[in-house]
Amino acid sequence: MIIPQIPKGFRDFLPGKMNLRKKIIGAVTEVFESFGFEPMDTPCLEYAETLEGKYGEEGDRLIYKFQDRGGRSVALRYDLTIPLSRVVATYPELTRPFKRYQIAPVWRADKPQKGRFREFYQCDIDIIGTESAYADGELVIITYLVLKKIGFDNFLIRINNRKLLNAFAVKEGINDRQVPSFFRSIDKYDKIGRDGVMKELQNNFTVSKSLETKLDDYIFSEENRKQTGLSEIAKLVEGMPAGDEGLRELETIRDSFSAYGVPEKYYMFDFSLARGLDYYTGPIFETIVTEPRIGSITGGGRYDNLIGLFSRNPVPATGTSFGLERIVTVLDEMGIGGSDGTMTRILVTLFDADLMADNLRIAKTMREADLNVEVYFSPQKLKKQLSYAANRGIPFVVIQGPDEISQGTITLRNMNKGTQEVLSLGDLISTVKNSVLQ
Smallest gap, in angstroms, from Cβ of residue 358 to a second copy?
A: 8
Q: List binders of a second copy among 36-65 (CB under 8 A).
A: 36, 38-47, 49-50, 64
Using an 8 Å Cβ cutoff, are 76 and 10 in contact?
Answer: no
Q: How far apart are CA 17 and CA 11, in angstroms?
A: 11
Should residue 112 be labelled a site residue for a second copy when binding is judged by CB under 8 A? no
Residue number, 104 or 207, with CB nearest to a second copy: 104
Strand order in the sheet with 45-47: 45-47, 73-76, 65-67
Among residues 188 and 388, whose Cβ is nearest to a second copy? 388
Question: Among residue numbers 1 through 20, which ones bind a second copy (CB under 8 A)?
Answer: 1-8, 10-15, 18-19
Which x/- pattern over 236-255 shows residues binding a second copy (rule: CB under 8 A)?
Answer: -------------------x
CA 2, distance to chain mean position in Å, is 35
Among 78, 79, 86, 218, which residue interacts with a second copy (rule: CB under 8 A)?
86
* Smaller CB separation from a second copy, 258 or 435: 258
Cβ atoms of residues 328 and 143 within 8 Å: no
Quick one: which of 60, 132, 172, 245 contacts a second copy (CB under 8 A)? Answer: 132
Residue 422 found at the interface with a second copy (CB under 8 A): no
- Cβ 14 to a second copy, closest distance in Å? 6
User: Cβ distance 141 to 260 under 8 Å?
Assistant: yes
Residues paired with residue 284 on neighbouring β-strands, in sequence order: 160, 301
Cα 356 from Cα 274, distance rounded (Å)? 65
Residue 338 CB coordination number (10 Å): 12
Taking CB under 8 A as the criterion, the residue among 171, 181, 207, 310 binding a second copy is 310
**Positions 378 through 397 that interact with a second copy (CB under 8 A):** 378, 388, 391-392, 394
Site for a second copy in 312-351 (CB under 8 A): 312, 342-344, 347
Q: Out of 67, 178, 204, 424, name the contact with a second copy by CB under 8 A.
A: 67
Q: How far is the CB of 389 from a second copy (least distance, A)?
A: 10
Residues within window 218-237 making contact with a second copy, judged by CB under 8 A: none
- CB-based contacts of 354: which residues, under 8 Å, 6+ apart? none
Q: Which stretch binds a second copy (CB under 8 A): 279-287, 291-299, 361-369, 412-420?
A: 361-369
Length of the chain: 438
H or E element that contains 296: strand 296-302
- What's the closest the beta carbon of residue 276 comes to a second copy, in angstroms? 22
What distance in Å separates the CA atoms of residue 299 and residue 157, rounded to the nearest whole number?
A: 9
Short-list 364, 218, 127, CA closest to 398: 364
Contact 107, 228 (CB under 8 A): no
Residues 142-181 that bind a second copy (CB under 8 A): none
Indicate whether 35 belongs to the interface with a second copy (CB under 8 A).
yes
State the number of binding residues for a second copy (CB under 8 A). 96
Q: Residue 86 phi/psi, 5° resolution?
A: -65, -40
